[in-house]
Amino acid sequence: MLSGIEFVLIGIAALAAGAVNALAGGGTLITFPMLTFLGVPAVAANVTNTVALCPGYFGGTLAQWNDLRGQKSRLWIVVPASILGGVIGGFLLLRTGERLFRELVPYLILLASVLLAIQEPVRAWLVRRLGESHSGSGMEKLAWLPVGLASIYGGYFGAGLSVIVLSALGLTLEDTLTRLNALKQAVAFTVNVAAAIFFLFSGQVVWAAALVMAIGALIGGTLGGRLAGRIKPSTLRWTVVAIGVLISIIYFVHG
């Protein structure tokens, strides 16, 4: 049972994560370690984190709704793959077991930190690739495959999912980065919701913490949106990367 001060800490972490996600991404690297630090088992912490952050992903998708117009055919390709991948990832998480998952945690956090670190090079690669004049209509029908694989990772451990999905979309689709970004938000939201619905029946959700986190993430996302332009996303991103690497080292040392 979490105490009052622990709920305050969770709320602050979720608020910070919401703001970070709105500005640079990587909020899970704040909320997940906080939950485990407060004694929530690793699997339950990951499940709770997935459920709690769904409203934030919905807000991100809604904010870019206009850029999704005209992409209905693509959504029919990637959304089913996202749903299936999210459920498979969630299933694998619950089948992993607490002990093994806790052993994997430092590697997953380190992977997420690396993904966040390479976000800008990935975007630069996409800008160069999308600037090339060649048709990708044949590849577009195969978008479900890389998106599905990315979604499995997202259902299992969501940190860094956005970078993977954006890369997967960039491999198979030809469009502006803005429109691909909107599609990425829709995929991330779908993966999270699919995994969250699967987790509802797992008995692993710490509901009181999830509610506090959901509220904190929504407030943080709103604040983050207002701070856009005042804080350099690159500075914030590298701060989160440093925190993630430090946390992974702590997990490696102390387990």
| pLDDT computed for residue 123 by the predictor | 75
Is pLDDT at 25 greater than 70 in this prediction? yes
- Mean pLDDT along residues 240-249: 86
pLDDT digits (tens, 9 = 90+) for 205-216: 999 999 999 999
Q: Show the domain range for 143.
A: 4-254
Q: How far is CA 112 from the centre of its chain?
A: 9
pLDDT at 91 over 90: yes
List CB contacts of 50: < 8 A, sequence separation 6 or more: 90, 155, 158, 192, 195, 196, 199
Question: Which pLDDT belongs to residue 136?
Answer: 52
**pLDDT for 197 beyond 90:** yes
Best CA proximity match to 240, nearest among 6, 17, 15: 17
Provide the token pair at 73.
């055919």
Quote the mean pLDDT of the chain. Answer: 86
Distance CA 48, CA 73 (A): 32
Number of domains in the chain: 1
The tokens for 213 are 């986190």
Q: Are 78 and 143 in contact (CB under 8 A)?
A: yes
Residue 199 is predicted with a pLDDT of: 94
Strands (E) across the chain are located at none
Where does the pLDDT of residue 175 fall: very low under 50, low under 70, confident under 90, or very high at 90 and above? confident
Structure tokens at 233: 């996303």
Give mean pLDDT, residues 148-169: 88
In this prediction, residue 94 carries a pLDDT of 93
